Structure 1
Amino acid sequence: MSEELQDELEAINSIYGDGCLVRSNDNKNTYILTPPGESSSLRIEFPQSYPAEPPVVIGTNSTGEHGKRGDAARELSLFRQAVGTVYQPGIVCLFDAIEELTRLLEACGPGDQQRSESPCEDVGDIETSEVKEPASSELTIPEPPWIISDPFVELKSTFVARCAKVTSVEEAEAFLQHLLATDKKVRTATHNITAWRIQGPNNTSFQDCNDDGETAAGGRLLHLMQLMDIWNAMVVVTRWYGGHKLGPRRFALINQTARDAFVKAGYVIESSSSKKKGSNKA
């Protein structure tokens, strides 16, 4: 077992629970993966050179008491699709593949035979949230001091980020509601992904995020803010789907757009030495 695979096995089992990924009894290169919340276990073979070469999803291992054969076939097909989507040579991929499988299953809904034969489209890229009409109370606060990024466009999908200084969770929530209430274009976008980090009194801190249907995107935004040491700020990344699936590339675009807004707002100073400065400014 390579060091990368050993680390990945420990990480997967620590995140999803012991027994999520275990070695098969009949082959030292084959492992049994039981994705969280699913009835089917999957047999995965890791080449000796993994992660330089991708894992091979051999088939299903077993079906739970309440599982259905069609569900198992669908999960197998979707997991193969997930691995193909997230794998990059030289980089371990199981965590991203499990998250992608979860997203695909949520997007597809309850399985049927037709879906098991033809994996569902990457509709996590295109579903929109339910559009709600604004409440009158959401219109009473002043316009938030948004700093807006340049638009980033790829394959006709457009990404725009807004960031603003906030000093409380209530203020962050109010800013978001005001944006959705007053900007119909934003309100009807495919996704509005949010994250904020706030330092409170007595060394308290508040951090939160929302994927708005784009699985794991909010957490990645929050992680970006942590890496950039940004506090007392929030960011909203809006995406309008353009008709073409972007795969994992969309996460890079989401973070790139958010970073552009932070730079424009002065939360990070661009310099030749690439030094970063936090937002602990008045």
Structure 2
Amino acid sequence: MAEGDAGSDQRQNEEIEAMAAIYGEEWCVIDDCAKIFCIRISDDIDDPKWTLCLQVMLPSEYPGTAPPIYQLNAPWLKGQERADLSNSLEEIYIQNIGESILYLWVEKIRDVLIQKSQLTEPGPDVKKKTEEEDVECEDDLILACQPENPVKALDFDITENRTVTEIEELPPIDHGIPITDRRSTFQAHLAPVVCPKQVKMVLSKLYENKKIASATHNIYAYRIYCEDKQTFLQDCEDDGETAAGGRLLHLMEILNVRNVMVVVSRWYGGILLGPDRFKHINNCARNILVEKNYTSSPEESSKALGKNKKVRKDKKRSEH
């Protein structure tokens, strides 16, 4: 496998895991090998009036140089309404070339459904729709146009002299509800951070706890928004769980969180969990981010990801 293909495959796997953690049962795997997935989107999870199923297939070039191939399935979606929604999704792709966009697509569709429910009468009972229902998809399968020049990541130096005074006090640390599976336990810890020094302080404080210090892995990631340069200072650490830190950071990027770090402790119970371990890491991280209100609204996420793509990786990893 070429290096580029391997990189795309890893980014796709990270996004798939993040989407599964964010949407749970709404996210469905149609064909794992072919990278085909479906997500059921409603205007209201508890009392849906309008529902749409988004089916996507991820080509090997996604997200680098090609968009997902998608299909919009809903008996009420026709004509101009379908065209408008398709144009909106393609516009999101154009504005975020090279980025993972499935989260933005799903939340854009949800926003459209919410607006529709506010302006119209309740829609059809989509729950009664069967898989055998004939859905016209001749116009559904759309490959968004590919601009010639993908967006290139820009490198910015982050100087020690920040315009915002760095707060050097130890921030408060919250602890999430543990998840246990086959004798392995996962627990997330969260702290607000505005500078790399606070990241080190939080890690040092956590390691004072003998139980956390004895964990098999303490995976962490953080994102700090630099207001003066309008870019993110971010980094992650696997702590022996290969690729876990990158997957955690990817989840935080999709959720567009800022000025926060998440540490996930795993106590290994002697039974290999395979890919499920990444699911548990992302799930407990997402749970605490949602609980502490770090997730932005879909509209804010879309705007922020469209404008603030500049990222600087912090090379100053803390030792522990």
Question: What TM bracket, shorter-length normalisation?
Answer: 0.3 to 0.5
Output the TM-score relative to the length of structure 2: 0.42
- The answer to which structure, 1 or 2, has the higher relative contact order (CA under 8 A, 6+ apart) is 2
Output the TM-score relative to the length of structure 1: 0.47
